[in-house]
Structure 1
Amino acid sequence: MNSRQGAGAYARVGVESAVMSADPHQLIVMLFDGAQAAIGSARLHMQDGNRSAKGLAISKAIDIVNNGLAAALDHERGGEIAENLTQLYDYVARLLVQANLRDDVNQLDLAASLLDNIGSGWRELRHSPAASSLAGV
């Protein structure tokens, strides 16, 4: 095993350990971080002309948005907020698809900006008494 493979294995164990010990709020924040990392990777691959790696990174970001963030929404308790977030996550996913199809870094940046705004809100909630009740929004 070379050092790069070893570092990758070490990182995966670290991520798995963090996920296992995280509360629902921390998991949501980790999803935002993962989506941002995937978008950043896609941006680099787009600039390098590596279409295959760009597509994989964008697919990962879309998966996090659709099957992580959107799937975590509790529509019963979240009401209008959950519905608005659903629509916003759908829009972000469409931006990512269009960024992939058109090699459009501006759409990647818009998706990243929207996710950053929502993610910042989640980070600020961490210190709020309402955080535990909203973790399932």
Structure 2
Amino acid sequence: MMYGAKAYAQVGLETGINSASPHGLIVMLYEGAIEAIRKAKIYLEMQNIEMKTKSVDKALRIIKDGLTASLDVNAGGALAQQLLSLYDYIGKELILANAQNNPERMDTCIDLLDDLRTAWLEIGQTATKS
């Protein structure tokens, strides 16, 4: 039964990815990273270090291979450079949070990513109205 639920969720995710705009994909990356960090916090509370580490690794991959890789530093100028620095900071905070089992550092990362997600959502709404 659990396999069916996972398969259904995977189809929903794939459909969302295939139909999303590039802007929407960035929002999905933010949401994925936030969710992975939230799970890491839960696993930390449960003292399940293996799953905590896997969740942090997933968040780091999303930040590095998704968000950072999507930046065009040449075309994006100063804003892209600032985002690059912020993603680097979040990645370092996550590594420290994982090594120190520090939920406060995880909260900092969640807050930063959520602020960015909110800004992207607002940009998307403004672009849609134009």
Question: Which residues of 2 match residues 17-56 of structure 1 at below 5 A?
Answer: 17-56=15-54
Aligned to 1:113: 111
1:87 aligned counterpart, secondary structure: helix
Q: One-letter code of the match for 1:27?
A: L
Distance change >3 Å, CA 97–CA 86, structure 1 → 2: same
Structure 1, unaligned stretches of length 5 or more? 132-137
Q: What SS does structure 2 have at the residue aligned with 1:113?
A: helix
* 2:34 pairs with 1:63: no
For residues 69-90 of structure 1, the C-alpha deviation after alignment (integer angstroms, 9 at most, x for no partner) is 1110111221000000000000
After superposition, the CA RMSD in angstroms is 1.6
* Matched AA of 1:78: G
Identity %: 38
Number of residue-to-residue matches in the alignment: 130
State the 4+ residue runs in structure 1 displaced beyond 2 angstroms.
none
Residue in 2 that maps onto 1:15? 13
Which residue of the partner structure matches residue 75 of structure 1?
A: 73
CA distance in 1 between partners of 2:124 and 2:73 (Å): 21
Distance 1:80 1:66 in 2: 19
Which consecutive unaligned segments of at least 5 residues does structure 2 have?
none
* Residues 36 and 56 (structure 1), Cα distance of their counterparts in 2 relative to 1, 3 Å cut: same
Q: Which has the higher helix share?
A: 2
1:129 to partner: Cα distance: 3.0
Which letter maps to 1:46?
Answer: L
